[in-house]
């Protein structure tokens, strides 16, 4: 479970100061910073640019900082399937719940049905990471009284297709964020 958000911001600030002081950046080149990563993880509506995702995938130090921040803000984990196969999944379990992929009666739509059994608090976003480094984050709406959250995915939307592909990929992992 994530720690105090003030403490998280202090850690991010120290990491940023340390990296800035040690970095041998090239003049005029703007890199991805800890503040941008923290904003991405803490704000459910925040996105990470393709350039920032590439930097995150190619820079081991930045990736390590990202994982530290994610650990602090993570409420739960969507693990890779232990017996991963080549086929897509239509159901995944995680500690405290399940996610089911279900076709809609409406043509061109698919549902991602999350069932949370956590006693207190629910995540505000899901961050999914593919084995090749692709990162997709989706805000989660408030759960109903039974702890269910529904995401309606449009098969005509490239973003929805990418989310569906990753959530069904047995090798992809996810983090439920506060």
**What are the residues whose beta carbons fall under 8 Å from the beta carbon of 102, sequence distance 6 or more?**
90, 110, 111, 113
3-state secondary structure 93-129: EECCEEEEEEECCCCCEEEEEEEECCCCCCCCEEEEE
**Closest Cα partner for 141 from 165, 174, 168, 116?**
116
Q: What's residue 27's pLDDT?
A: 46
Q: What is the pLDDT of residues 25-46, one digit of tens each?
A: 544 455 778 888 889 999 998 9
pTM score, whole prediction: 0.77
In the prediction, which pLDDT does 154 show? Answer: 96
Q: What is the pLDDT of residue 28?
A: 44
Q: What is the pLDDT of residue 12?
A: 73
**What residues in the chain have per-residue pLDDT under 70?**
1-6, 16-30, 82-87
Six-digit token pair at 83? 């017996």
């Amino acid at each position: 479970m994530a720690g105090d958000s003030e403490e998280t911001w202090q850690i991010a600030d120290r990491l940023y100061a340390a990296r800035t002081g040690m970095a041998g950046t090239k003049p005029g080149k703007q890199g991805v910073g800890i503040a941008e990563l923290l904003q991405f993880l803490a704000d459910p509506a925040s996105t990470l640019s393709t350039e920032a995702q590439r930097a995150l995938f190619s820079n081991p130090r930045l990736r390590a900082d990202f994982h530290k921040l994610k650990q602090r803000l993570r409420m739960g984990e969507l693990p890779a399937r232990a017996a991963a196969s080549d086929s897509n999944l239509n159901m995944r379990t995680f500690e405290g719940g399940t996610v089911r992929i279900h076709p809609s009666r409406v043509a061109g739509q698919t549902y991602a049905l999350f069932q949370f059994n956590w006693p207190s608090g629910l995540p505000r976003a899901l961050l999914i990471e593919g084995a090749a480094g692709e990162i997709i984050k989706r805000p989660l709406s408030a759960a109903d009284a039974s702890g269910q959250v529904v995401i309606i995915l449009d098969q005509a939307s490239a973003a929805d297709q990418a989310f569906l592909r990753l959530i069904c990929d047995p090798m992809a992992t996810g983090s439920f964020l506060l």
